[in-house]
Amino acid sequence: MSSVFKALADPTRRRVLQLLRQRPMSAGELAEHFPVSKPTMSAHFSVLQEAGLIAAEKTGRTITYRLKMSVLEDALLGFAHTLGWNLEPQEGARPPAANAGTKRRALKGEV
């Protein structure tokens, strides 16, 4: 878990994760968002990979990164447990994200 929090400690790496939430991106696409050198970005990608937060797929000369959300969720849940917080869903309750981003449509005859 400490490698995850080490990775999250840097604002550049947090921004990379935010970008990857939108969709998988190549190293070049990600690097365009930052005013740093390619070797510096490569170092950030390595830290994120070592923490298990991103996965890389190489096709030819292109490396595409994708977010591994389950690793981040597990780390945050583990951290919450160390603070004594119980974030497990209550029986019969839906997780908050279950309806996120969706609009409820009225059924015929509903007001």
CATH number of 2-70: 1.10.10.10
- Going by C-alpha positions, the residue among 76, 75, 53, 57 that lies closest to residue 65 is 57
- Please tell me the predicted confidence (pLDDT) of residue 76: 73
Q: Up-side HSE of residue 37: CA atoms within 13 Å toward CB?
A: 3
Residue numbers in the chain where pLDDT is lower than 70: 1, 87-111
What is the value of pTM for the model shown? Answer: 0.68
> Where is 5: in which H helix or E strand?
helix 2-8
Taken in order 15, 32, 6, 56, is the CA torsion positive or negative? positive
pLDDT of residue 88: 62
